[in-house]
Amino acid sequence: MMHGNLRIDAQALWADLIYTAQFGGTPKGGVKRLTLTPEDRAVRDWFAATCSDLGCSITVDTMGNMFARRAGLDDSLPPITMGSHLDTQPTGGKFDGILGVLAGVAVVRALEDARYVTRHPVEIINWTNEEGSRFSPPMMCSGVFAGVFEESEVLEKRDRAGFRFGDELVAIGYKGEEPCGRHPMTAYFELHIEQGPILEAEKNVIGAVSGVQGMKWYEVTVRGKDAHAGSTPMHMRRDALLAASHMVVALAKVVARFGHEAVGTVGLLENRPNSNNVVPGETFFTVDIRHPDDAVVCEIEKKFIDCFENIASDMGVLLSISRIWDAPAVRFDERCVGLVRQAAEQIGLSPYSIVSGPGHDAAYVARLAPTAMIFVPCKDGLSHNEEESITEYEAEAGANVLLGSILKADEFFGNKFK
């Protein structure tokens, strides 16, 4: 069979997406599958078993990243790879991340059904802790793989309950033996839902992603003084939560000055002692800022920190700001982006050029190997939400473009690791 005629099994892919949503499924129809939890272990076990049944060998590295390998005609060549992540947000949906992994399963299933053997080996990757919702920062283990983070430091990370990353990795049985980062690649492709409204608004089913915008994360602690709510006059209070609320509003105003492409978010806030008759003495919150231009991200950083410091001074509280993640803007490999466009056009789809707002593992993998991403729309642009939704047709289209991209990359790239 000519590979141009290969197509994925759409019904099998959709069945996999619905079945895996049971691992951490929520009453509202979403998924809570935090990294390195029993739910994460369960979906990993399913993924490993499913890929083994398709004839793949499974390798796990020291950060828990999983590689399911289908042999090629020349198995000495570095593999053509594809993948994403299996972990979710606390109130996540059925498709964020896992679509890219299960589409990889669909690609291998299509190759197996057609008895088509690629020249390069083909691999599906599950990256550990992409979300960063339990252990920060996000994309942590693809970051170790790419040399962005030190493995020893990541293993010592603790979640908000004090559990250590390295211990939890061992506890679920997914601390492998292969040194993280010692896994060569010829190229990498990642299919993902857009997590935004652009493709749906443009009535386009495929996005050819040219890159990822720059982003920075911060942890902010505001320290005032606990006091009795009934006996402490307003003008004598050092209210940490009140000061923090002014900072949250200030962040929104700062970001608004930089146009529609700039975004800033306070997504997590903890108040202490959190009692209804105590003036708050300490408030902790996070800040997330993003823009396609790194210079603009730096300018937003300077402006909001200046505002926070002025608010802290005016309100008599102490301020601590720590930048915990800095991910510069990424441009994907033009050759790989071109292969995605060709694969879409070959099946009658017109790819839409788009820059990713969210970060993805592909942003770090791009430091090591030629990389591209494929987006499909999600209803109302909604993601990181239990109501996240895509159609079976959109999943099928994205997976077929992924299949075409893998096959074209197998032809395009030469014998040497590039």
Binding-site residue set for Zn(2+): 85, 96, 131, 192, 384
Q: How far apart are CA 376 and CA 400, in angstroms?
A: 11
Cα 112 to Cα 122: distance, rounded to the nearest angstrom? 12
**From start to end of 113-186, where are the E strands?**
122-126
CB 293 within 8 A of CB 329: yes
Measured N-to-C along each axis, helices 392-412 and 98-114 cross at an angle, to the nearest 10 degrees, of 60
> Residue 155: in which H helix or E strand, if any?
helix 151-155
Task: Give yes or no for a cis peptide into 273 (omega within 30° of 0).
Answer: yes
- List CB contacts of 130: < 8 A, sequence separation 6 or more: 84, 85, 87, 97, 138, 139, 140, 141, 142, 360, 361
- Tokens standing for residue 49: 């078993």
Longest C-alpha distance within the chain, in Å? 82
Contact between 187 and 200 (Cβ < 8 Å) = no
* C-alpha 84, offset from chain centre: 8
Phi, psi dihedrals of residue 87, rounded to the nearest 5°: -80, 160
Task: Supply 226's token pair.
Answer: 């606990």
The 3-state DSSP class for residue 94 equals coil
Amino acid 248 reads: V
Hey, what are 117's tokens? 């053997």
Q: Is the dihedral of CA 388, 391, 392, 394 positive or negative?
A: negative
